């Protein structure tokens, strides 16, 4: 008789857990995946995928506005929010089915239940059934954070509810300055909402390159989005179907919806982590793991947003795959968390990989900056007041490209390819030796020959 019921028990049916389950099953492991909500996790069900679908749809409004400059005469058009939501729901259901099918095809079993740790090898399902496992992987992801309690918090929605609103709000207040807040600001504004963004910091997109932060804010404000910084929502009142958001500065804003997008926290509560002896990282509130994604308990691992390392779907997938390779494939693999490309599907879009100028100047004695800010070719005919930003951060001593930052149409698509070069430690000379592809915006990346700034850190006396 086997010592354990299964070789691997995965808690969470999101991207990281599913990848780990499939790869482990392919290695011959007996695997169970427990998911209490819907297969696919945050990204598929209430994150990146529905968000990107909403973003793509919202771009149509701008295309219609820009068409006149290219000779198109478009008559009266209308938009139906309910149709968008219904069609999004159909696509999410299709993807959920695909996730489920792929897990089952691999030979792993899915149980639709919450699972709680009773000890390092035993899990209790909501049905009362107990399962023992040789290895346990926690991949429960994260959830929206509402932050400090404010009066009227019960009237506030998060990104979760934003995907299921019955109507498009005519006026919406969004608290937050990160990628989720800005993405929804662009979405609602492009569909026709009056949008106000409220953020406690001095400028939006904290942690991004300073030039990116300034450029995105200026472009969003050009598009009619009001951005109030150095301020927070302190109270939300409800009057019938309307709301009033009171701000710390003393002013107030009337709205049809108030949304908080002020960060996410790891889903670590009520999993039995304390009972099993799994430690939490005090620095970030996520499950503490080593370079192999192993927790403080030898046979328990954790991947994805629940560890609060880099909260990105491809990172969770890579971590889940590496775990399965290491533990079940006998091929030790550690994930390199350096130089991860990322995008903000705001309007305008942001793509970034590598170091910001500030980070580079803190780490390297000589830093060269190559930067251009230009009107894209489309705007010359459409008449739209918009500009593209492209910036390369270079180690002045070795000539290696340390970072690339792009704001403009298709920024994410361009950055994915540039990330290969940055990961390979390409030099500025390599970029310069690459022939430009004309006419494109991205050709600027290989035609910027003169530094716009050179920084030399003086050695300490």
Give residue 145's pLDDT: 85
- Which residues does the annotation mark as catalytic? 438
* Residue 336, in any domain of the structure: no
Of the three residues 262, 285, 310, the one that is the final residue of a domain is 262
Angle at the Cα of 56 (from 55 to 57), degrees rounded to 5? 90
**Domain identity same for 225 and 287:** no
Of the three residues 219, 242, 262, the one that is the final residue of a domain is 262
Give residue 42's pLDDT: 85
CATH assignment at residue 436: 3.30.390.30
CATH assignment at residue 246: 3.50.50.60
Ramachandran region, residue 60 (left: φ > 0; alpha: ψ -120 to 50; beta: rest): alpha
Is-cis flag, bond preceding 348, omega within 30?
yes
Nearest partner of 182 among 224, 240, 227, 246, judged by Cα? 227
Give residue 146's pLDDT: 77
**Domain identity same for 21 and 138:** yes
pLDDT at residue 241 tops 60: yes
Total number of domains constituting the chain: 3
Distance CA 11, CA 273 (A): 12
* Residue 338, in any domain of the structure: no
pLDDT tens digits, one per residue of 155-206:
999 999 999 999 999 999 999 999 999 999 999 999 999 999 999 999 999 9
**Domain identity same for 100 and 165:** no
Give residue 207's pLDDT: 95
- Which residues make beta-bridge pairs with 229? 199
Token digits of residue 187:
């979405």
Token digits of residue 287:
């499950």
- Regarding beta strands 242-247 and 252-255, do their DSSP bridges make them parallel or antiparallel, or are they unpaired? antiparallel
* Residue 61, in any domain of the structure: yes
Mean pLDDT over 414-437 rounds to 97
**Domain identity same for 307 and 283:** yes
Give residue 461's pLDDT: 44
* Residue 24, in any domain of the structure: yes
pLDDT at residue 365 tops 50: yes
pLDDT tens digits, one per residue of 371-399:
999 999 999 999 999 999 999 999 999 99
Give residue 1's pLDDT: 47
pLDDT at residue 139 tops 50: yes
**Domain identity same for 230 and 287:** no
Give residue 459's pLDDT: 58
* Residue 311, in any domain of the structure: yes
Give residue 299's pLDDT: 96
| 3-class state of residue 380 by DSSP | helix
Mean pLDDT over 428-454 rounds to 97
CA distances, 435 to each of 125, 210, 431, 447 (Å): 59, 29, 9, 9
Token digits of residue 229:
């910084």
**Domain identity same for 163 and 292:** no
Q: Give the count of alpha carbons within 13 A of 315, CB side only.
A: 20
- 108 and 233 Cβ atoms separated by less than 8 Å: no
**Domain identity same for 283 and 424:** no
End-to-end CA distance of the chain: 71
**Domain identity same for 362 and 450:** yes
* Residue 334, in any domain of the structure: no
**Domain identity same for 379 and 426:** yes
**Domain identity same for 258 and 283:** no
| 3-class state of residue 369 by DSSP | strand
**Domain identity same for 102 and 38:** yes
pLDDT tens digits, one per residue of 318-363:
999 999 999 999 999 999 999 999 999 999 999 999 999 999 999 9
Residue 41: which pLDDT band, with cuts at 50, 70 and 90? confident
pLDDT at residue 74 tops 90: yes
Mean pLDDT over 410-414 rounds to 97
Of the three residues 210, 228, 262, the one that is the final residue of a domain is 262
- Regarding beta strands 226-229 and 194-199, do their DSSP bridges make them parallel or antiparallel, or are they unpaired? parallel
**Domain identity same for 197 and 277:** no
Give residue 148's pLDDT: 78
Domain of 186, in residue numbers: 153-262
Nearest partner of 347 among 206, 229, 204, 182, judged by Cα? 182
- Helices 48-67 and 81-106, packing angle to 10 deg: 140
Percent of residues, the chain, with pLDDT higher than 70: 99
Give residue 44's pLDDT: 86
Averaged pLDDT score across all residues of the chain: 95
Mean pLDDT over 277-288 rounds to 94
Mean pLDDT over 256-265 rounds to 94
* Residue 337, in any domain of the structure: no
* Residue 461, in any domain of the structure: no
């Amino acid at each position: 008789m086997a010592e354990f019921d299964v070789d691997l028990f995965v808690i969470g049916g999101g991207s990281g857990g599913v990848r780990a389950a499939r790869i482990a099953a392919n290695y011959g492991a007996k695997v169970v995946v427990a998911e209490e909500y819907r297969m696919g996790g945050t990204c598929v069900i209430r994150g990146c995928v529905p968000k990107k679908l909403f973003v793509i749809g919202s771009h149509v409004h701008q295309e219609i506005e820009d068409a006149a400059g290219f000779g198109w005469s478009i008559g009266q058009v209308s938009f139906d929010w309910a149709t968008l939501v219904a069609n999004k729901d159909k696509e999410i259901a299709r993807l959920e089915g695909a996730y489920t099918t792929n897990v089952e095809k691999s030979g792993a079993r899915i149980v639709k239940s919450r699972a709680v740790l009773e000890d390092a090898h035993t899990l209790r399902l909501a049905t009362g059934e107990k399962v023992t496992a040789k290895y346990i992987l926690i991949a429960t992801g994260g959830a929206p954070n509402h932050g400090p309690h404010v009066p009227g918090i019960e009237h506030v929605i998060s990104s979760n509810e934003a995907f299921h609103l019955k109507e498009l709000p005519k006026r919406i207040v969004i608290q937050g300055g990160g990628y989720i807040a800005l993405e929804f600001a662009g979405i609602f504004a492009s569909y026709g909402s009056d949008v106000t963004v409220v953020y406690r910091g001095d400028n939006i997109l904290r942690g991004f390159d300073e030039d990116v932060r300034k450029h995105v804010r200026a472009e969003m404000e050009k598009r009619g989005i009001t951005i109030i910084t150095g301020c927070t929502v302190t109270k939300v009142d409800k009057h019938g179907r309307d709301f009033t958001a009171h701000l710390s500065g003393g002013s107030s804003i009337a709205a049809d919806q108030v949304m908080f997008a002020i960060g996410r926290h790891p889903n670590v509560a009520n999993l039995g982590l304390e009972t099993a002896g799994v430690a939490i990282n005090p620095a970030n509130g996520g499950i503490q793991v080593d370079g192999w994604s192993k927790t403080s308990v030898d046979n328990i691992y954790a991947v994805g947003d629940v560890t609060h390392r880099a909260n990105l779907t491809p990172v969770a997938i890579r971590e889940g795959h590496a775990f399965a390779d290491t533990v079940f494939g006998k091929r030790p693999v550690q994930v390199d968390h350096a130089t991860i490309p990322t995008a903000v599907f705001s309007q305008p879009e942001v793509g970034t990989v590598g170091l910001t100028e500030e980070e580079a100047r803190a780490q390297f004695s000589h830093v060269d900056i190559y930067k251009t800010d230009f009107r894209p070719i489309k705007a010359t005919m459409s008449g739209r007041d918009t500009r593209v930003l492209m910036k390369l951060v270079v180690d002045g001593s070795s000539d290696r490209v340390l970072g690339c930052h792009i704001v403009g149409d298709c920024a994410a698509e361009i950055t994915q390819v540039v990330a290969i070069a940055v990961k390979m430690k390409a030099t500025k000379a390599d970029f310069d030796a690459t022939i430009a592809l004309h006419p494109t915006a991205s050709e600027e990346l290989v035609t910027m020959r003169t530094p716009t700034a050179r920084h030399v850190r003086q050695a300490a006396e």
